[in-house]
A and B are shown apart, each in its own frame.
Chain A
Amino acid sequence: MDIKTRYKIETMDLEPDRFEIFAPSAHQFEWTRRELLALLGAGVLYVVSAQDADAQQPERIGLRLHVAPTGVVTVLTGKVDIGQGLRTLLTQAAAEELRLTPEKVRVQTCDTAVTPDDGGTWASLTTPQTVPAVRMAAAALREAGFHAESMQRTVAASVTLTAPKDWKVLGTSLPPVSGRDIVTGRQKYGADVRVEGMLHGKVLRAPSHHAALVKADGSAAEKVTGVRVVRNGTLAGVVAGDDRTASEALRLLKAEWKETPLPAQAEVFAHLRKTAEAPVFVRGSRYPAVLEQGSVVEAMKGAVRRHEATYTAEYIAHVALDCRSAIAEWDGDKLTVHCGTQAPQVVRRELAEAFRIPVNNVRLIVSNIGAGFGSRHRGECELEAAALARAVGKPVRLAWSREDEFLAGYFRPAAVVDVKTALDASQRVVGWDFHNYNSGASGLAVPYAIANSYCGFHKSDSPLRQGSYRSLAAVANTFARESHMDEVAHLTGSDPVEYRLRHIEDTRLRHVVEAGARRFGWEKGRRGMGVACTIEKDARLALFAEVEEPIRVRRLLLLFDCGAVLNPDNLRNQLTGALIQGMGGALFESVRHDRRQVLSLRLSRYRLPRMADLPEIEVQLVDRREVAPTGAGEAGITLVAPALANAWFSFKGERRRGLPLFTAGEPKR
């Protein structure tokens, strides 16, 4: 495939001894040369930027590739490896287009001093955005001819990407490139990083969820040898020479707080409804808050039959196993933070704003993260560490405890979803009225051919601090939609698979539903089986579930079509993991709180899926080489709750419309 784009390739020589001779050649290179050399060693750095040939478009972010004298090529990316296989996928992408074996390719993840800003590691964008960008840059470099000594500037007028049918590295199950480091314990995560001369900090947590610090009394804490008490705006904390002393001092730090009560847990859904705003359509947003087609009002009026129901989802926690940590170090007005975040540029801006310094003064060196799931989009821990470090004038490490995670992180939003449907004389759904309160607009779209529909997302006042989560609102929205379709199917005496198929026009979606039903051994009227399907971030998927007494999931079968499969084994691993994670939120996860504070502060108070919960799991991939791949790290989680709720209904004749489906008192497995 030929891309009508001009590629400008600039080079920067990284010979250590020729420092002075080659002044930085472009603004991107300012203050990065030393860091680049330290990280990558000698060689040539190629910056490949794309410019649309026709339009006056500004240059797109320059992709950076480093070629060492050994011929090893390093791809520099501002993304982060959170266990989704980023390093492996980008290795494949570069190796494919450079015609190199994967061993000759390295991936340098985010260090804002040297890597470009190619967006946050979120929304399953690595596959649809980063992989193509790396492929094009690598292909441009291949066509320009690259070597470790090259110094001339080259422009490749167009590049040819390797056709999917000719892939040698992409499309294969290249094992995780960090595998050996992981099994030997050598892989470093945020909490494993140490910096010379660093001190250890702790931050005082408020006794209630919405509390403002009024006064802090550090006199007792300061008596502990080597302890400094830090007070800055809303933050009170301590810094000491070691972690244990810091903990000891923290216990002596007294504070007064102004508290604002929370609604009781039982009142949360009513609160979300009460405080809801009307949906606002914003043009060009990735997840529009209003989707409208035909006239749902007319459809309701003319309906032969109507059905309505409300679905809810509680707040749940990400519980990435790795707790947040950060080491902040100031050098005058320049700040360096070692941390684990999915959104380096967001956190960088937050830090710059908080300390009123230019964004370029903030360097984030991002480590591997013991998984993200959307929990690391904001810089809570980084801000705290930077405030502590600024006060004491030394590097400070702040490592959050599990309790800090529950107290100072954020949760997946709670949701209330109202669904109303209108059926015509042929029992077909002709009107679809869908309202999500509080949790978000992702997954609002209906994958069925329904003539009249309105889907809206209402912002509400969330009692608990909330934020991103794997696929965010798509879990609640898909749960509501797929439960509701199931209800209507049963109401009309139809088989849930057949009934869905009657409403599906998308051939790829039809395929996963039909093929899945066959493979699963779906039988009309058979007890204990449930189905759900969706189009999520352009992937087509269908999940089949079977449950048995006492509340045990017996098996799950997922059919998944996200276009071309770049790494089948990695994709299977991601999808299986998403299913297992989805089981937690579907069956038992829920953040408990009272009128003051979150009560789920420990893993012993917050149940997660374990080995004993495992059903038989099968994942079937539909590999469509001709279709550009979409991301897949999230989609798999969206169908678990509805498939299980539907299977439960088929098993017990009882409809459960709230997540988690079961409460702690019910039999656990």
Chain B
Amino acid sequence: MNNPVSVVVNGAKRSIVVGQGITLLDVLRDQLDLTGAKYGCGEGQCGACTVLVEGKAVRSCLAAAESVAGKKVETVEGLEREGRLHPLQAAFLEKSAFQCGYCTPGFLMAAEALLRRVPKPAEAEIRRELNGNICRCGTYPRIVEAVRMAAGVGKR
């Protein structure tokens, strides 16, 4: 059965249709037109679909839509506030921590989850946390630098 339930996406209450086989990624991209979260593998391997649910990083390609009923979901589209970039976005931009940019939303959200939990992570912690995200263009070193910059832990 397809049942409408409500979720809070980027601070706004939204009604979504859940049902068998509908993932959170489907909901975001097809129902809410939030295409920032990307599909890369559909099995939790690449992190391109990472969003926050109740502040924690979740692979939206694996999360059943009904699992977010009544919960708070945050996506890359919600990072920018009134035209002001979030510090992670500003840092990614400053370091040009991307090439094609397809992986960027997933990395941003995974990094955001980390920084909420550990505001000043050690470099090894950043690498461990982001090891589940793939950047096929190979911009990893810049991504690490950008996360360090956003966290204010500066250069090595």
Contact = CB atoms under 8 A, between A and B. Distances in A.
Contacts of B43: 402, 602-604
B85 A179 contact: no
B153 interface: no
A243 B30 contact: yes
Nearest to A84: B99
Given A179-B96, A192-B35, A603 B41 contact: yes
Interface stretch (B52-60, B114-122, B138-146): B138-146
Contacts of B45: 602-604
B136 interface: yes
A422 interface: no
A244 B26 contact: yes
B3 to A, nearest CB: 15
B138 A577 contact: yes
A321 B36 contact: no
Interface in B112-156: 127-128, 130-144
Nearest to B108: A183
A38 interface: no
A573 B153 CA distance: 22
B38 A183 contact: no
Given A189-B38, A370-B100, A603 B134 contact: yes
B38 A191 contact: yes
Contacts of A179: 93, 96, 98
A371 B139 CA distance: 12
Interface residues of B, number: 56
Contacts of B101: 83, 178, 181-183, 187, 368, 370
A574 B128 CA distance: 24
B76 A184 contact: yes
Nearest to A179: B93
Contact of A321 (B103, B127, B128, B130): B103
B59 to A, nearest CB: 12
A577 B35 contact: no
Interface residues of A, number: 60
B39 A569 contact: no
Contact of B48 (A321, A399, A611): A321
Interface string B70-85: 0000011101100001
B77 to A, nearest CB: 5
Contacts of B102: 83, 189, 320-322, 370-371
Contact of B96 (A175, A370, A608): A175
A576 B141 CA distance: 9
A555 B99 CA distance: 22
Interface stretch (A125-133, A533-541, A578-586): A578-586
A187 B100 CA distance: 10
A579 B138 contact: yes
Nearest to B2: A244
Contact of B138 (A192, A581, A603): A581
A611 B144 contact: yes
B74 to A, nearest CB: 12
28 contacts: A83-B100, A180-B85, A183-B90, A183-B98, A185-B76, A186-B36, A188-B35, A192-B35, A194-B33, A247-B21, A321-B40, A321-B102, A321-B135, A322-B100, A370-B101, A371-B102, A373-B136, A402-B43, A573-B99, A573-B139, A573-B142, A576-B139, A580-B138, A581-B138, A603-B134, A608-B136, A610-B132, A617-B141
Interface of A: 81-85, 175-176, 178-189, 191-192, 194, 242-244, 247-248, 319-323, 368-371, 373, 399, 401-402, 569-570, 573-574, 576-581, 602-604, 608-612, 614, 617
Given A185-B77, A323-B40, 11 more contacts: A82-B100, A178-B101, A185-B34, A185-B76, A248-B21, A321-B102, A321-B103, A573-B99, A573-B142, A580-B140, A617-B141
